Amino acid sequence: MSDMIGAVSTALAPSGIGVIRLSGAGCAEAADRILSPVQGTPLSRAEPRKLRLYDLRDRKGRVMDRILAVRTPGPNSYTGEDTVELQCHGSPAVLAEALANLFAQGVRQALPGEFTKRAFLNGRMDLTAAEAVIDLIEAETADAAANAAGQLGGALLRRLEPVYNALVGLMSHFHAVLDYPDEDIDDFSLGEYRSLLEAQRDTLTALLATADRGRVVKHGVRAVILGCPNAGKSSLLNALAGYDRVIVTPVPGTTRDTVEESVRMGSILLRLTDTAGIRETADQVEKLGVDRSLAAVREADLALLVIDGSTPLTEEDRQAMAAAKNAKRCVCVLSKTDLAQVICPEDLDFETVIPLSSVTGTGLDALTRRVEVMFASDLPCDGGLLTNLRQETAIRAAQDAISRTLDSLAAGATPDAVLLDVEEALEAMAGLLGTSMREDITNDIFSRFCVGK
């Protein structure tokens, strides 16, 4: 990691500001060769962490921008190395030429994620914080951003590290007694660790309980709109999206495939799928669409069942109502309230029925409030929510291994047999945090038990 890397860190589109980042020993000197100080001090000798004004030159020596630049010496930088940031005007041509000039000075193009990878390898962040960086960049709601920022700040590490350290301490005690019998070390008794193991299992169980909420915060709610043809499904999707996302016609069966759109309903993000109308059909293409609709309902977190309130219930309505009950949650939308109604909410066998007009917008606020209530949670989005499948899988593996340890302990198994499961839990935790289990056990033995003094 001794080479210098550089990359444009902002979108390659015209904008007010465009940022180029550099990292690696000598990057400030490389920047000196393309910058002329307006204030008389080369960047490499300028006061750290203080923006200064420079003229940016192209490969022909021409001034092409006046910019702000700052250097941050390692190890107290984002990557743990010497870093430079050039704040240019956001012309893609300027940024491309500046980067090309830097490449001519010995800088190379950074690989995807390489700045954060260097931060991890240099000990500036653990693996959970590194994964939070991309979550923060891709956050689509304030809750998702807040949770990612919390993880970037170490919120998840603060819950996981004590579990890891407790297991390392247990293993190091066992191996210290086993490998150094002549040292003055307290005898190892696995029974004394029962309460410690139970506490670590409970911590991991509590974390796993946040995974469902975490998925909603990060990925949104998988929602499907269903109903019979011409019930108003596509009109509802357009109303929620705020524009004409799908074609709406009086012709039944216009929508023949699933159509997806992300929409915000209050603080909740919906991954919304409009589906083909539920009905029996001889049209092979439409039948495939209906089959996809039924599959989408089974996979959905929420079904928005649309019933046309201006016409009597049909057999196709009843088929759609039966399909909706396969979803985890369901809200029935009584549509077309701008027309004369022949169906009342009381006529429908659903806990929640919301009269709505996609034409006038009446009822959309009520629908939004209901969806927010359905997916509300008391769990704070402070970084303590599991939003990453890799992390969830590792924590579940560690929890299972600790549970097996406790079962073996209760059955009276020997310590060496029991501790195989503890080692498995540690391996899962080490993979989660991006650390080395065996190295940490060895370090803990020597630091705690004064072996070989």
User: 324 is written with which tokens?
Assistant: 């909706």
Kindly state the helix (H) or strand (E) to which residue 225 belongs, with its residue range: strand 221-226
Decide if pLDDT at 36 tops 90.
yes
Q: How confident is the model at residue 253 (pLDDT cuts 50, 70, 90)?
A: very low
Range among 149-158, 266-275, 291-300 with highest mean pLDDT value: 149-158
Q: How confident is the model at residue 178 (pLDDT cuts 50, 70, 90)?
A: low
Q: How confident is the model at residue 250 (pLDDT cuts 50, 70, 90)?
A: low
Decide if pLDDT at 439 tops 80.
no
289-316 average pLDDT score: 83
Determine the pLDDT at residue 202: 96
Range among 29-38, 276-285, 300-309, 406-415 with highest mean pLDDT value: 29-38
- Residue with the larger pLDDT of the pair 134 and 106: 106
User: 101 is written with which tokens?
Assistant: 């000039």
CA count, 13 A, side-chain hemisphere, 166: 20
CA distance 145 to 141: 6
Question: In Å, what is the CA distance from 194 to each residue of 37, 200, 409?
Answer: 65, 10, 8
For the CA atoms of 103, 108, 109, 115, what is the dihedral angle to 10 degrees?
-130
Q: What's the mean per-residue pLDDT of the chain?
A: 86
CA distance 222 to 261: 11
CA distance 262 to 278: 22
Q: What is the pLDDT of residues 203-219, one digit of tens each?
A: 999 999 999 999 999 99
- Residue with the larger pLDDT of the pair 449 and 452: 449
pTM of the model: 0.80
Q: What is the pLDDT of residues 335-357, one digit of tens each?
A: 999 999 999 998 888 889 999 99
CA distance 182 to 449: 12
Q: Of all residues in the chain, what percent carry a pLDDT higher than 90?
A: 51
